[in-house]
Amino acid sequence: MGLSIGIVGLPNVGKSSTFNALTKAQNAQSANYPFCTIEPNRAVVNVPDKRLFELAKIVNPEKILHSVVEFVDIAGLVKGASKGEGLGNQFLGNIKETDVILHIVRCFDDADITHVEGRIDPISDVEIIELELLLADIDTLCKRIERLERQAKADKDAKAMLVCAKELLAHLQDNKPAKTFANVNTEEFKTLNKELRFLSFKEVIYGANVDENSISSGNLYFEKLKEHAQNNNAEVIMLCAKLEEDMVGMEDIERREFLDSLGCKESGLEQIIRVGFYKLGLISYFTAGVKEVRAWTIHKGDSAPVAAGAIHKDFEKGFIRAETISYEDFIKYGGEAKAKEAGALRIEGKDYVVADGDVMHFRFNV
């Protein structure tokens, strides 16, 4: 399982610069993740996790493999995208496949960079794109309702689905996103969302693209966007696309010193990944052996068999037990052998809920 983030934004807001920085990061790290055949508008980058390197100091593996995040550069974001303006249809198709929307919003003044709407107004920019998401969902749902009306004549399940769909349509037509629909936990809505993948149901992270002078303290544009995010239960991060590009290729120490000089604790990329994991309820567990030390992405609350399935579905089907050491104990005792001697290695069964940072070895039978 990997995290997929779709980057959206109006023209000239810094979306392309942000994606370019990610693409460069991908190229620099391409040997460090598996299955790295990437389409031109996609970038796969490592999830920063210092714990992997601490584990590697003990295990001394042949290689270190991070969890990965896929970024998708969404094209054609203009007014009318939901009706096919610009590259609207491509935009809609790409974003449906992603888990989280990273909405890059221009929060800087620059007379040399024209704004497509002729003014700098972060909230208006956000509203333009969010309206397009709603309109696209309405269009998709209307088509589904037409089919359900025919099916409902002879199918009671379709009839129940139709009731839910019409209630959702009224909700969307009231300019309210699918994520605030009262019946999101019903089986009917879950089925509709699985099929149609409503754009306005997806988690959103606002990326406030500020200038270099505002990166440490923000500005009035950022404060307006931050207030909007709080009012809509969304997350906002502050980044400077130009500085993100400048940091690509820096060694860890150099990048840390550069961020310190700016008064920043994390790069924009690190913030995006951290918040993305949080919004989707994702955690990492580790496998550690002489061949590789590797991070695996699962959902918080997943059981040991489900976690095993992240490696291979056969592991989940034939799960017997999981030999588990917490990350803290693995580091404290200096590896598996000494942790086992100290009684810190636990044998967990099918009901065990995996904790973030668990170091695991699965026993299974196919």
Tokens of 330: 């693995």
Distance separating alpha carbons of residues 100 and 272, to the nearest angstrom: 10
Nearest Cα residue to 246 out of 17, 6, 15, 3:
17
| Coil/strand/helix, residue 41 | coil
Consult the annotation and say whether 267 binds a ligand. no
Consult the annotation and say whether 334 binds a ligand. no
Tokens of 133: 């998401």
Consult the annotation and say whether 214 binds a ligand. no
Distance separating alpha carbons of residues 133 and 120, to the nearest angstrom: 21
Consult the annotation and say whether 15 binds a ligand. yes
Consult the annotation and say whether 16 binds a ligand. yes
Distance separating alpha carbons of residues 331 and 257, to the nearest angstrom: 27
| Coil/strand/helix, residue 47 | coil
Distance separating alpha carbons of residues 276 and 278, to the nearest angstrom: 5
Burial class (CB in 10 A: 0-12, 13-18, 19+), 176: middle
Helix axes 156-173, 187-196, angle to 10 degrees: 70
CA 151 to chain centre: 36
DSSP, res 150? H
Tokens of 142: 């209307």
Consult the annotation and say whether 41 binds a ligand. no
Rg from Cα positions in the chain: 23
Distance separating alpha carbons of residues 250 and 246, to the nearest angstrom: 8
Q: Which residues of 90-129 are buried (b: 16+ CB within 10 A; e: fewer)?
A: ebbebbeebbbbbbbbbbbeeeeeebeeeebbbeebbebb
Distance separating alpha carbons of residues 337 and 330, to the nearest angstrom: 9
As annotated, the binding site includes: 12-17
As annotated, the binding site for ATP includes: 12-17
